[in-house]
Structure 1
Amino acid sequence: MYTGEIRLLHYHYWERKQAFQYKEDIYLHWVAFAVLGGRFRYELGSLEEGEAVNGDWVVCPPGTAFRREVLQPLSFFYLGFEWSTPPSNLPLGKLTFADQERLASAYRYLQQLDALPPEQAMLWRNRFIQELWDGYVLQQLLPMADYWGTEDSLMLSARRKLQELAFQNVSMKELADETGLSPVQFTRRFKAAFGCSASEYVRQLRLDHGKRLLIESPLTVDHIAQECGYDNGFYFSRVFSLHIGMSPSEYRKTHRL
């Protein structure tokens, strides 16, 4: 597979979407749903069907019936594009990105680009999407062992599960049981793989989500706490203040445009 050049036509970010307005659509251009959280089921005509979660793109070619159903509240980028220079093998269906850190970093930048003038923002979005696509192509070219480096495949699977469940009641013991490890072994192995404990990782996911909701939504702190997986606004505010250095209300006042 040789890399191709993408020209981004349309872009939109959806946060925790409960259902699709249209259960089926046919596009005149290429479309990708890049998933940040949640889960959805898809069918691409009679070509492919499956489920996609965080770290996956579902790529649909023009003129193909794209049927979809939200299974867990879905956060994703809608990308409409065409190929300025097509790759040697056109992508189709689910693409899974191995480099989750690079993916998460690019997604954070994409979410902040609305602060730029529209034309400039679109140019930068195109650049980030192109870089992600190039990284995926490289992932296919390199031997798997070389690409993963020293990362632990069992812990990568556990991290993906945490990303799916981060805003719910997460039981670290149950997750450790699923991996066949004791809680102590699981904690040590997760920290060795990612530099933080599983609990710290979930906390960061929740705080990042909380920061986005404080800036982008009119929800109350109590409501945001529930959306982030906390029982109440008091506890969320306490955790937020301790790790962000200011209260949620101060953060909203400082960062909202």
Structure 2
Amino acid sequence: MDTDMELIRYHFSGFREQFTLPEDMYEGWVILSAQSGRFAFRFDEEGATWEEAEFGDLVICPPGKRLQRKTLEKLSFHFIEWRGDGHWLPGKMSIHDVGRLGSTYAYLREWQEQHAEERSKQEAVHLIRDLLYLARRETEKARQRKNEKADPLMRQAAAYIEQHLGMNDLSLQALALKLGVADSQLTRRFRAAYGMTPIRYATAVRLAKARRLLVDTEDTLDIIAEQCGYQNAFYFSRVFTQHMQTSPSAYRRAYRV
């Protein structure tokens, strides 16, 4: 989690017949995303073709690349520009969790409407991070689907990890034995399929479950630790803080919107 994200600007347009500028270049990373209607876009480079985007699509433009755009029908859109928070592939990314996307957009619009210049940008940063999390998750899912087809045994390995999250002694050796492969082969093939080791994958899935429980339940840290396969609340808090750069309690306060 990048702690140096800086919001340059956020704007919700309201309904427009056309963009004010048919093209522009930005100093930061940009997301252009329709709330309603459709638009076409392309990057100003040799061989670029026009693509269409509608609600559910995030068009990501990196710093210094010229983005061309035109409306295809009456349009309202979100415009976000920021610095930091990793590197993203330019182009269109479709978000399948449109319910969560719509909720995040609604909170961003509320933030803008309530005199955003007088409020802490940190609130908007939290919401924009959620958009980027959705984008990162879609990228990972697409890569996983591709690699799982190439190595179905590693899909079995991932499924085993997901089904046994509550085991605080989840063993790489036991998993390798169950699948009939050597420990080193399991680690190598799993990394090729998922971009991380089985142990790192287990940590990522445990923390994803922990984040959901922190936001959606009133469970104590002891209960959440047990459900996520950690020995106790102290160890869970230490791992969570190390990976998320914030404590479980602070995360719960920040994301319970």
User: With structure 2 as the length reference, what TM-score do the two structures score?
Assistant: 0.50
Between Structure 1 and Structure 2, the one with more strand by share is 1
User: With structure 1 as the length reference, what TM-score do the two structures score?
Assistant: 0.50
